[in-house]
Amino acid sequence: MTEAGVARARGLLAELAAAERTYLATTPYRLVHENDMRAGRYLVRVEVVTPVPSEIPPLAHAVIRSLRTSLDELVTRLAGKPIHFPIYESLALFAQRSRRAIAGMSDEAQATLEALQPYHTIGGFRNGALWTLQQLDAEDPPRLSAGYLRSATMGVNTQRKTTIVGEPSIATGPFTDGGIVATAVTKIIGPDPKLDMFLRAEYGTAYAPDGAGRGREVLALLGELCEHVERTVLPALTS
């Protein structure tokens, strides 16, 4: 049943969250500080000590597969024959390619299905939840980034004869191994300068920026997709 598929996706998402917590508890990332006083830049890079465990990508894809299966089961029930939930990037493609498959549905169900299509999404179909779901389903196994910087706080441990110009810049989001995650512009104002800073960071796992997940944090994106299927798609087609 469709509801069971969503429930299974929720359960798998909980397993994924637990696996991520276990991974992050091992301190898999190391921060490397670089202070180039002559150039006036203080950099913090993140290096991967332990890569994302091999069980995490399949778990992430299993969540997607369960959601996709629940959608297919729903439209199969409505159409009275086995079909896939149609997801298209334009009205023309939807009308051309899904007409026969959904012909057995009521006019109301067909209209609702069209209204749920991702090309109605503000900003274009690529921002649509169903489009993202379909792309992630096709990407098996999913491509992940080295990690994800959820948030960070940067401050000073030791500062002598050096000033920090403006506020430090922190690059939250997906990162690569060795990538710069924080930068501070500095200026020497006297002899024997010294600057030692700290960065307190919170991490997560992320999809690759150039992949189907477009650099989104894994747990956040999968949670949004579960919400969309459970609270928007299923009620619209079963009410």
Domain tally, the chain = 1
- Average pLDDT, rounded, for the chain: 96
Of 122 and 3, more confident:
122
User: How is residue 78 written in tokens?
Assistant: 């409505």
Q: How far apart are CA 60 and CA 53, in angstroms?
A: 12
Average pLDDT of the segment spanning 100-116: 97
For residue range 165-177, what is the model confidence (pLDDT) as tens digits?
999 999 999 999 9
pLDDT at position 2 over 80: no
Q: Which of 225, 239, 191 is nearest to 5 (CA)?
A: 225
For residue 184, give the amino acid letter: A
pLDDT for the residue numbered 1: 53
Show the domain range for 54.
Answer: 2-238
* Global pTM value: 0.95
Q: pLDDT class for 239, splitting at 50, 70, 90?
A: confident
Long-range contacts of 169-175 (CB under 8 A, 24+ apart): 170/199, 173/148, 173/149, 173/206, 173/215, 174/145, 174/146, 174/147, 174/148, 174/149, 174/206, 174/207, 174/208, 174/209, 174/215, 175/46, 175/145, 175/146, 175/147, 175/148, 175/149
